[in-house]
Amino acid sequence: MNEDTKQYALQWIEKAEEDRLVVQQLVDADSTARGAIGFHCQQAAEKFIKAYLIFHGIDPERTHNLEFLVERCSAIDKDFSNVNLMNLTDYGVEARYPGDFLEPSVSEIEALIQIVDSIREKVLQKII
């Protein structure tokens, strides 16, 4: 892998870390914006996964479907086959529009954060 590809993957990680930081700030503030927390969890996971694919020379499709992206990662490394995404994909684009009121409960938020942190740890261990 060339240095440009590695730097590009690291830029994706930086953006993922920003989404994870937003999640933490909303949780720390006891925010009632649970849909936004779910959205930023989904975004962080998506960006960590895409960073992994980019690191391996794969240009990720323009999709928010985490199941699809994790499947692509699993083709590279079987460690990704045990990632349980719960319903994290649902908090992406679909939850951003009126009428799609996906509001995770407090316990669901905790589970979503654990998923993101698990993906983060897996990706960072493998590419940094």
Angle, alpha carbons 19-25-48 (nearest 5°): 20
Q: Which residues contact 1 (CB under 8 A, 6 or more apart)?
A: 55, 56, 57
Kindly report, residue by residue over 4-29, the tens digit of the pLDDT: 999 999 999 999 999 999 999 999 99
Q: Is 126 exposed, middle or buried (0-12, 13-18, 19+ CB in 10 A)?
A: middle
Chain centroid to CA 102: how far? Answer: 17
**pLDDT for res 102:** 72
CATH architecture of 3-127: Up-down Bundle (1.20)
Cβ-contact 54, 80 below 8 angstroms? no
Domain ranges of the chain: 3-127
pTM reported for the whole predicted model: 0.94
Print burial letters for 68-79: b (CB count within 10 Å at least 16), e (below 16). Answer: ebbebbeeeeee
Print burial letters for 18-38: b (CB count within 10 Å at least 16), e (below 16). Answer: ebbebbeebeeeeeeebbbbb
**pLDDT for res 99:** 66
Cβ-contact 69, 50 below 8 angstroms? yes
**pLDDT for res 98:** 66
Kindly report, residue by residue over 60-116, the tens digit of the pLDDT: 989 999 999 999 999 999 999 999 999 999 998 765 666 666 788 999 999 999 999
